[in-house]
Amino acid sequence: MNIRVIGDIRTGKIQPSLTGNAIVDDALIQNFCNELKDRVSKTNLQVNVIAEHFFNPAIQTDDLLLVDRRILNLLPANVQSQYRIIDIDHTDLVRGNVLKVLELLRQFHLDT
């Protein structure tokens, strides 16, 4: 399973950013991805965690999307319904706190 972490979007109509600085955004999102990879590697889940800066709602994917709640609130409901999405608390994404996401992933994995 692929997990795409969306904390900023750099193309398209809406281009929300995590902090307003692309270099800082890269570092924070990559840190979150690294923390998640590290924690998931200690479980029996087989996943790839990818920082996604160029999310395009017109391109369909079966990947699980972890989306900053602030970005998710900008996406229309019909776009949200096309994907498997777990919303991430903005502060957790900035701080690299993956504990809530891990619990949601466990629940999500059991339901699929």
Domain at 63, CATH number? 3.40.50
DSSP designation for 71? H
Query: Is beta strand 84-88 parallel, antiparallel or unpaired with respect to 2-6?
Result: unpaired
pLDDT of 17 above 80: yes
Residue 105: what pLDDT?
87
- 56 φ, ψ to 5°? -125, 110
pLDDT band at 52 (very low <50, low <70, confident <90, very high): very high
> Comparing 65-69, 76-80, 89-93, which segment has the lowest mean pLDDT?
76-80
Domain range for 22 is: 2-111
Whole-model pTM?
0.92
As for how many domains the chain has, the answer is: 1
Residue 112: what pLDDT?
47
Residue 22 — left, alpha, or beta (φ > 0 → left; ψ -120 to 50 → alpha)? alpha
